[in-house]
């Protein structure tokens, strides 16, 4: 059986942005290709993330689509450079094109849900902090992914920074839990089969999946069927035993008022 060629997540993310910009300009692939003197198939390859384009292509495309420097800036961010640790690069890029995200956090609030003051305590450098805050734009892009978060109950009680930081963070969790495309649940501290630490799953519109599992030495992104089966089972176990969304929101409010106000 032939092995499916892996698409680089940075190129996939850049291609998704190019496609969105082109469609917003009301152009077909053929029409965009004609404006920048390339073939329609080349534009299609860029949009699918199966080819690495040059910077001058991104600049000419930005002019053709009347997007200014947006395309070139996306190229610089996604194709040329990365702001995340090497072990996390692939998953961070895949988040940007996912239609569904499922994240479990066992020790601290998930990075996508951290307020700036909380994240600043955890991260050592300003570039790392800014990269995390920019990554959070995933939740408000259009269209936004369905994002399911499960936090271990202990996360609400584990102090990160001062009491004011915890108050701000839990207030934000309480507020964000009411968003339409965010499902936030609290898992009572307990043993859960197949769960040994924090992990994330990103699902693309073609149902391709990738998982990221944290470790003491950084973490690992995987698309192996065996690993995906394991984390899907783990998330299902967590989701089945966690408080429902309404009860989770109420529980966050109770801990906020009792411990951090």
Find, among 209, 117, 108, 119, the residue nearest to 149 by Cα.
108
Same domain, yes or no: 116 and 38:
no
Question: What is the DSSP secondary structure assignment for residue 145, as one 8-state letter?
Answer: P
pLDDT at res. 251: 98
Question: What is the DSSP secondary structure assignment for residue 257, as one 8-state letter?
Answer: I
Same domain, yes or no: 69 and 124:
no
pLDDT at res. 77: 75
- From CA 242, how far away is CA 102, in angstroms rounded? 14
What predicted TM-score, i.e. pTM, was given to this entire model?
A: 0.70
Mean pLDDT per 10-residue section of the chain, whose length is 261 residues: 54 86 92 88 84 81 89 77 54 82 96 96 89 89 93 97 97 96 96 89 88 76 86 95 97 97 89
Which CATH number is 47's domain given? 1.10.260.40
Whether residue 15 contacts residue 53, with contact meaning beta carbons closer than 8 Å, is answered with: no
Q: Residue 57's domain spans which residues?
A: 9-80
Write down which residue in 51, 80, 109 finishes a domain. 80
Same domain, yes or no: 56 and 134:
no
Question: What is the DSSP secondary structure assignment for residue 234, as one 8-state letter?
Answer: H
Same domain, yes or no: 222 and 144:
yes
Question: Whose structure tokens read 């584990």?
Answer: 158
pLDDT at res. 157: 97
Same domain, yes or no: 109 and 13:
no
pLDDT at res. 216: 64
Write down which residue in 65, 80, 95 finishes a domain. 80
* Tokens linked to 232: 């899907």
Which CATH number is 129's domain given? 3.30.870
Same domain, yes or no: 44 and 159:
no
């Amino acid at each position: 059986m032939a092995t499916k060629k892996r698409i680089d997540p940075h190129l996939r993310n850049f291609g998704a942005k190019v496609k969105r910009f082109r469609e917003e300009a009301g152009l077909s692939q053929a029409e965009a290709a004609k404006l920048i003197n390339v073939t329609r198939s080349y534009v299609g390859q860029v949009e699918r993330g199966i080819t690495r384009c040059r910077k001058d292509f991104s600049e000419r495309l930005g002019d053709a689509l009347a997007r200014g420097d947006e395309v070139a800036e996306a190229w610089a961010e996604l194709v040329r450079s990365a702001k995340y640790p090497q072990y996390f690069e692939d998953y961070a890029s895949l988040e940007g094109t996912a239609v569904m995200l499922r994240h479990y956090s066992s020790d601290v609030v998930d990075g996508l849900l951290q307020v700036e003051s909380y994240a600043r305590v955890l991260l050592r450098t300003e570039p790392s902090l800014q990269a995390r805050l920019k990554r959070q734009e995933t939740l408000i892009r259009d269209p936004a992914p369905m994002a399911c978060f499960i936090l271990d109950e202990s996360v609400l009680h584990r102090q990160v920074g001062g009491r004011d930081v915890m108050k701000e963070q839990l207030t934000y969790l309480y507020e964000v839990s009411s968003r339409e495309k965010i499902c936030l649940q609290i898992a009572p501290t307990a043993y859960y089969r197949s769960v040994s630490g924090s992990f994330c799953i990103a699902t693309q519109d073609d149902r391709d999946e990738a998982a990221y599992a944290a470790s003491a030495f950084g973490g690992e992104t995987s698309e192996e069927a065996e690993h995906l089966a394991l984390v899907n089972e783990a998330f299902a176990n967590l989701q089945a035993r966690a408080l429902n969304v309404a009860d989770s929101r109420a529980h966050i409010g109770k801990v906020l008022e009792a411990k951090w106000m």
